[in-house]
Amino acid sequence: MENQVVVRFAPSPTGYLHIGGARTAIFNWLYARQNKGKFILRIEDTDAQRSTKDSIQGIVDGLTWLGLGWDEGPNFQSAYIKDHLAAAQQLVDAGHAYKCFCTKEDLDRKREAAVAAKQTYLYDGTCRELTPDQVAENEAKDLSFTIRLKVPRDGGSLVFEDAVYGRVEKQFRDLEDFIIVRSNGNPLYILSNAVDDIRDRVTHIIRGQDGLANTPKQILLYQALGAPLPVFAHMSLTLDPKKAKISKRRHGELVAIHYYRAQGFLPWALVNFLVLLGWATTDSREIFSEEELIAAFALNGISRANSVFNIRPEDTRFSTDPKALNINAHYLRTMDIEDLADQVKPFLEAEGLWHLAYEGEGRRKFLDTLDLLRERYHLLTDFATLGRAWFSDDFEMDAKAWEKHLASHPELHAPLAGLGEKILAMDDYTIKTVEALLRDMLKTLGVKPGILINAVRMALTGQPKGPDFMKAMIVMGQQRVGERLRKLPAQF
């Protein structure tokens, strides 16, 4: 299609899909969807030693889970190496590139001399002006060679406009004739990347700020190959709270998409959070539906300032960014309850807490339970961990809270058991009738309401905090509430 917007996400399969890669994919996906364009998934797998099938599958699974469907691919860069080498030969034939026979020892010696003289080392172009006869003579000797692109030597500069960073200028004197094909015959990434983008007619290259430094070289390749330039848009970096760049090596699984999936994040909630790392609307809005975000996204909303991903490895419960948790909690609390049930089910199944009744006669009670609990939870895993007492009679007690609210109040044990008996005998189990029972009990015992409420909550859920007390009593159900209170003294 003429003038169609074409973008691509081109990860190297050297590990799992991480936060930075996912963020890049999201920005590209949004731009394609907004402009009714094409989103290409290209796997840049030319580094055979580091690329793995597991990593490729991890990238595909991560994008699929996030809901970032692609229109073409996955294409594999390794399938096009012949095209990359053909482009290199085309550049040599056209006089835009040349074969360099300088040995590693030669280059190391020159580099060391530059360092000793406290100068920046750039290749001096020794082989740039070799005649065809000299090249043929070296080839006849079977000398190994690299291929270098010729950088203009007219003293000028290369200027381009980045959609995020604005005008960028690079002096030619600060660029060396750079290698595009190694001495082993393999094309370098910078060549392969440009050739693939030209072939795929990519119109917009949206990527991390760390790609900005290579952009002048890529533009020179585009110009030498006679291809129209795409629009470049470089996203600011994502840093940790100590201002270190987010990376797999430094931060491990805390920056892996599969970690957030396993922790119980909703896919769209994570997309919503990640897009806010370095992008914003003029009204600083933070919650978007898919349709709203596609409509709102714009390259001019990408910030030049680095964003901070506030991971907290020391926090055993909430180890990730509080904003991410709050956004996920928002979606848990506002999504359709049937959709929430579908999302919660696998987490309950994994903990042996799923019951067939939840699909049948117990469906209404199950949904009521989820609706009550979601007001306090941040993650899908919370339903199977913090909420275990709602789905099983086998649940742990918070030891400190147990001691404070129950063990240290032996005078409550028998009365609570009696309360359980009364609840089991009730014909009309409602908030009104249960409140009346509790008021009578308070008068009889002469204790403060908080003491009784905390004791009952501990006996029922094993936790000192939870949803609205009276709603919890009703949703948990007459039988379960009555039995747990009745059996309480046996636990001491």
Active-site residue set: 248
Pairing of strands 238-239, 307-308: parallel
Report the amino acid identity of residue 473.
Answer: M
Report the amino acid identity of residue 390.
Answer: W
The whole-angstrom separation of Cα 246 and Cα 377 is 27
The whole-angstrom separation of Cα 85 and Cα 61 is 32
Phi-psi label, residue 56: left if phi above 0, alpha if psi -120 to 50, beta otherwise: alpha
Q: Which helix (H) or strand (E) holds 418?
A: helix 413-424
Pairing of strands 38-43, 72-76: parallel
Closest CA to 22 of 64, 57, 83, 72: 64
Q: Which string of DSSP letters, residue by residue, matches 426-479?
A: -SS-SHHHHHHHHHHHHHHHT--HHHHHHHHHHHHHSSS--S-HHHHHHHH-HH
Query: Cα 364 from chain centroid?
Result: 34
Q: Are 9 and 25 in contact (CB under 8 A)?
A: yes
The whole-angstrom separation of Cα 263 and Cα 200 is 37
Closest CA to 212 of 91, 276, 302: 302
**Beta strand ranges found along 273-372 (DSSP E):** 307-308
**Beta strand ranges found along 64-184 (DSSP E):** 72-76, 97-100, 146-149, 157-162, 166-171, 179-181
